[in-house]
A and B are shown apart, each in its own frame.
Chain A
Amino acid sequence: MSTEIEAQGVAPGANVRTHSTHRSYLIGLGYAVVLTLASFWASSTDLIYPHGVPILLGVLAIAQMGIHLVFFLHISSAPDQTNNILALAFGIFVVGLLVFGSMIIMAHLNHNMMPMDRLMQMQR
């Protein structure tokens, strides 16, 4: 049905069907497999400077999430997707606040707390 509509010259994005094909899923699968194997490899290799590994894992994970969004969830810049993109941006903002905010606050509290053995001695 979607090809019929396209043949009649409708503007791109006016079509309600998502432009998903078997090919886009297979491309997505290829990227995802490579990124997954890369992150499993990176976590167990000695070839990378150890303090850089967490950053590499983070980059690989975010890249794979992007691949899944584009090739599996078909998030695109099409006109009928504008609201989805805005909602996604807000979702990423909230997730970032929650995760990094919690980690910073808890690390800060932990840093300012008296060591646990000293605290126990005071309570005696």
Chain B
Amino acid sequence: MSAAEQALATDDAVPVSLRGPAPTRVVAGYGFWLFLLSDIVIFAALFAAYAVLSGETAGGPTATDLFDKKHVLIETACLLASSVTCGFGSLAVQSGERPSTYFWMSITFILGIAFLSLELSEFSHMLAIGAAPSRSAFLSAFFTLVGTHGLHVTMGLCWLIVMLLQVATLGFQPMVSRRFFCFGLFWHALDIVWIGVFTIVYLGAHL
């Protein structure tokens, strides 16, 4: 927060409604929130496609044949734990503590990598047994939905590396901590999408 913003926020004589434009952090958070919601609308379209096509296996492997619940539970645990460590990291950024920022964000990164490698091992196993995206409409929809989520996680990990480099070179400027705040929102939103994925795709398969 800049000195001017702080002066405004602490001035009791001025009512909230007359304090002028909202602080940059609130505006930036709102803009990024709008982006996240539009991203979730993309996922909604992919979920709708999967829900419509999940039975169209064209004689190929079905969802019950392919998915292993234990594997998915470990993936879910990785993502959930990384969401919490990311939250702890955001708190460290807010209070400007460099070592604990590095510590929590590194754990977030490692858990993200663990999630991705589990997902990639599942994909390569499916490709090896002939369950490729081109096999059936069900598999096309599956790889598009889960692959898009995996791509988002990959982008998030690249973003996290950039943010750690910015903390190392620029320090905790308001600009950098705002970006870190947006990264946290992005990472938590991915976890929300994953709840939909494991419920509809993986648990729905065994009903």
B90: interface (CB < 8 Å): yes
In the bound complex, how far is the Cα of B90 from the Cα of A80, in angstroms? 19
Mark interface residues in A44-81 (1 if CB within 8 Å of B CB, else 0): 10000010011001101100110011001100000110
B147: interface (CB < 8 Å): no
In the bound complex, how far is the Cα of B76 from the Cα of A94, in angstroms? 26
Q: How far is the CB of B45 from chain A (nearest CB, A)?
A: 6
Task: Check B48 against A87 for contact (C-beta < 8 Å).
Answer: no
Within 8 Å by CB of A43, from B19, B37, B48, B203, lies B203
Which of chain B's residues has its CB closest to A91's CB?
B37
B9: interface (CB < 8 Å): yes
A99: interface (CB < 8 Å): yes
User: What class of interface size applies to chain B in its complex with A?
Assistant: 35 or more
In the bound complex, how far is the Cα of B206 from the Cα of A50, in angstroms? 11
Task: Check B207 against A53 for contact (C-beta < 8 Å).
Answer: yes
In the bound complex, how far is the Cα of B73 from the Cα of A65, in angstroms? 17
In the bound complex, how far is the Cα of B203 from the Cα of A88, in angstroms? 26
The interface of chain A, by Cβ under 8 A from chain B, is 1, 5, 8-11, 13-17, 20-22, 25-26, 28-29, 32-33, 36, 39-40, 43-44, 50, 53-54, 57-58, 60-61, 64-65, 68-69, 72-73, 79-80, 83-84, 87-88, 90-91, 94-95, 98-99, 101-103, 106
Given the known interface contacts A25-B87, A25-B88, A54-B204, the answer about A65 and B192 at a Cβ–Cβ threshold of 8 Å is yes
Within 8 Å by CB of A26, from B84, B196, B199, B204, lies B84
In the assembled complex, which residues on chain A have CB atoms less than 8 Å from the CB atom of B48? 98-99, 101-103
Q: How far is the CB of A29 from chain B (nearest CB, A)?
A: 5
Task: Check B195 against A68 for contact (C-beta < 8 Å).
Answer: yes
Task: Check B9 against A16 for contact (C-beta < 8 Å).
Answer: yes
Within 8 Å by CB of A102, from B1, B10, B51, lies B51
B60: interface (CB < 8 Å): no
Instruction: Identify 5 new A-B residue pairs, CB closer than 8 A, beyond the known A29-B80, A72-B191.
Output: A16-B1, A17-B94, A33-B80, A73-B189, A91-B37
Which of chain A's residues has its CB closest to B52's CB?
A106
Task: Check A73 against B25 for contact (C-beta < 8 Å).
Answer: no
Task: Check B185 against A73 for contact (C-beta < 8 Å).
Answer: yes
Task: Check B199 against A20 for contact (C-beta < 8 Å).
Answer: no
B68: interface (CB < 8 Å): no
In the bound complex, how far is the Cα of B26 from the Cα of A93, in angstroms? 24
In the assembled complex, which residues on chain A have CB atoms less than 8 Å from the CB atom of B73? 36, 40
B125: interface (CB < 8 Å): no
In the assembled complex, which residues on chain A have CB atoms less than 8 Å from the CB atom of B30? 83-84, 87
In the assembled complex, which residues on chain B have CB atoms less than 8 Å from the CB atom of A64? 195
In the bound complex, how far is the Cα of B189 from the Cα of A28, in angstroms? 14
Task: Check A95 against B1 for contact (C-beta < 8 Å).
Answer: no
